[in-house]
């Protein structure tokens, strides 16, 4: 696998690096960021937290705004943040911010023109971890987290692949995309009008039917403008109650959808994941 280093910055005695590579899964050039704690080295492989960002974001938002590096360095956890969609002049796009570039929704598209590039589910689950584990001093101990659209992706991927992830978490996830405007628009475009094909990408439905559990932590801001119409954490909570899923869900009054919220609670999420990654 060939990758190109774009940037390199020392941070809390570890290294934040950006790379570009050609993705066979997505059929385009992709970018990702990785934070390697100081304990990662030739004789030491560290566990990895995969972070999936939300609508309009790239690999840079979390790494620059969340303030996760200090504690990741202390806990000895690498963090990998991919882009949120395929990119390039020949990649299909939409005029809206909630479809196309920056809005891959972490699904495998089946509908033209999206299916040529938009295979983000397979990229995050298979191709990217294979690349990371081959080229960097990391182990196959993985956890996954994300925000908003990325929270949806983290929950779906974690529940569909319980053997691959030690834990999962989300900030303000799109919990029930089959029944919200963002989700309906994206799933219709990427998967078609047959709603039965959407079910594999709905976290609440997956949680309701789950029998193999992955520990999960979800935090939601009570002053989030998208709370009622788009995010629907109460549906996720009801699903967990029905199946007995070990969901820890908290609503934090006064917090919105921004990285001010994420940075306020990222320490709890990192410590939550470290409990399972470092076992």
Please give the distance of CA 184 from its chain centroid, rounded to a whole number: 19
Q: Which of 148, 169, 175, 204 is catalytic?
A: 148
What is the 3 state secondary structure string of 9-51?
A: EEECCEEEEEEEEEECCCCEEEEEEEEECCCCECCECEEEEEE
* Strand 46-52 versus strand 168-171 pairing type: unpaired
**Measured on CA atoms in the order 182, 183, 189, 190, is the torsion positive or negative?**
positive
Choose among 215, 279, 200: nearest CA to 245. 215
> Are 148 and 174 contacting, i.e. CB atoms less than 8 angstroms apart?
yes
**Alpha helices (runs of H) in the chain, residue ranges in sequence order:** 60-65, 69-75, 120-122, 128-135, 149-160, 181-191, 203-209, 233-243, 259-277
Report the DSSP beta bridge partners of residue 127: none
Q: Which of 16, 117, 257, 273 is catalytic?
A: 257
Q: Which of 59, 202, 219, 224 is catalytic?
A: 224
Q: Is 16 a catalytic residue?
A: no
Choose among 134, 160, 184: nearest CA to 144. 160
Q: Is 258 a catalytic residue?
A: no
Q: Is 117 a catalytic residue?
A: no
Which DSSP letter does residue 88 get? S
Active site positions, annotated: 148, 224, 257
């Amino acid at each position: 696998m060939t990758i190109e280093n774009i940037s390199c910055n020392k941070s809390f005695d570890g290294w934040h690096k950006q790379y570009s590579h050609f993705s066979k899964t997505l059929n385009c050039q992709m970018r990702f960021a990785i934070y390697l704690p100081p304990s990662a080295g030739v004789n030491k492989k560290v566990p990895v937290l995969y972070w999936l960002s939300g609508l309009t974001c790239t690999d840079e938002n979390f790494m620059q705004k969340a303030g996760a590096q200090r504690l990741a360095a202390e806990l000895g956890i690498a963090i990998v943040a991919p882009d949120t969609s395929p990119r390039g002049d020949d990649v299909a796009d939409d005029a809206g911010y909630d479809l196309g570039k920056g809005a891959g929704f972490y699904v495998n598209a089946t509908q033209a023109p999206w299916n040529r590039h938009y295979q983000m589910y397979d990229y995050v689950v298979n191709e990217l971890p294979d690349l990371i584990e081959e080229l960097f001093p990391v182990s196959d101990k993985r956890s996954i987290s994300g925000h908003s659209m990325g929270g949806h992706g983290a929950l779906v991927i974690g529940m569909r692949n319980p053997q691959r992830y030690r834990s999962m978490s989300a900030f303000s996830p799109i919990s029930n995309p089959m029944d919200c405007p963002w989700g309906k628009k994206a799933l219709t475009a990427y998967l078609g009008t047959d709603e039965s094909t959407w079910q594999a990408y709905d976290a609440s439905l997956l949680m309701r039917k789950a029998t193999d559990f992955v520990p999960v932590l979800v935090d939601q801001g009570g002053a989030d403008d998208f709370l009622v119409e788009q995010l629907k954490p109460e549906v996720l909570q009801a699903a967990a109650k029905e199946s007995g899923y070990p969901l820890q869900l908290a609503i934090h009054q006064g917090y919105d959808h921004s990285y001010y919220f994420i940075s306020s609670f990222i320490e709890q999420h990192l410590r939550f994941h470290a409990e399972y990654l470092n076992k």
